[in-house]
């Protein structure tokens, strides 16, 4: 993401418990977990500093997978992430992060699947420094898209 010559990069790491149930042609999966989101290497800041800003919190989501014809499956998934804690950086950030994705999978060999996914993420954020009046909080909303996410999976 680049805003007024400010380059920012994002990395996410998830630890999830997933439960899947369904029938042969349709299944639904739920997950509950924990996410660590790093907003790293904000370069070209006014003072030429690099910033690491990391938040953690619970993650919940669901995925629906349906067979559309033999060897092909369609997927829809949605999740919600609530950052609760700052590991590094400065305090006062609250966020709500929502994600939606659409995808398709192709069974190209035995039980190996090649997948494609398009995802959009919406993040609503509020930031304030300690002791600052709520009327002067900074608020912003960002939309992030992943136009081409390719996966290789083994499903038994």
Question: Does 46 map to a domain?
Answer: no
pLDDT digit string (tens) for 62-113? 999 999 999 999 999 999 999 876 655 555 677 899 999 999 999 999 889 9
Question: Does 17 map to a domain?
Answer: no
Question: Does 40 map to a domain?
Answer: no
- Structural domain boundaries enclosing 97: 22-35+57-154
Question: Does 30 map to a domain?
Answer: yes
Question: Does 50 map to a domain?
Answer: no
Nearest residue to 144 (alpha-carbon basis) of 108, 109, 98: 98
* Number of folded domains that form the chain: 1
Q: What's the rounded mean pLDDT across residues 110-139? A: 81
Question: Does 147 map to a domain?
Answer: yes
Structure tokens at 21: 């149930």
Question: Does 150 map to a domain?
Answer: yes
* Sequence-separated (6 or more) residues with CB below 8 Å from residue 92: 127, 128, 129, 130, 132
pTM for the structure as a whole: 0.75
Nearest residue to 36 (alpha-carbon basis) of 104, 84, 103: 84
Question: Does 2 map to a domain?
Answer: no
């Amino acid at each position: 993401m680049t805003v007024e010559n400010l380059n920012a990069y994002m990395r996410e790491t998830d630890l999830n418990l997933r439960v899947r149930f369904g029938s042969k042609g349709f299944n639904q999966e739920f997950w509950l977990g924990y996410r660590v989101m790093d907003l790293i290497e904000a370069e070209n800041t006014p003072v030429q500093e690099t910033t690491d800003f990391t938040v953690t919190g619970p993650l919940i989501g669901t995925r629906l997978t349906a067979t559309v014809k033999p060897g092909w499956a369609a997927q829809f998934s949605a999740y919600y992430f609530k950052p609760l804690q700052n590991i590094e950086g400065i305090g006062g950030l609250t966020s709500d992060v929502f994600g939606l994705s659409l995808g398709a999978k192709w069974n190209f060999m035995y039980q190996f699947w090649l997948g494609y996914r398009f995802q959009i993420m919406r993040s609503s954020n509020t930031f304030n420094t300690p002791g600052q009046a709520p009327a002067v909080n900074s608020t912003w909303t960002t939309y992030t898209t992943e136009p081409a996410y390719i996966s290789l999976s083994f499903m038994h």
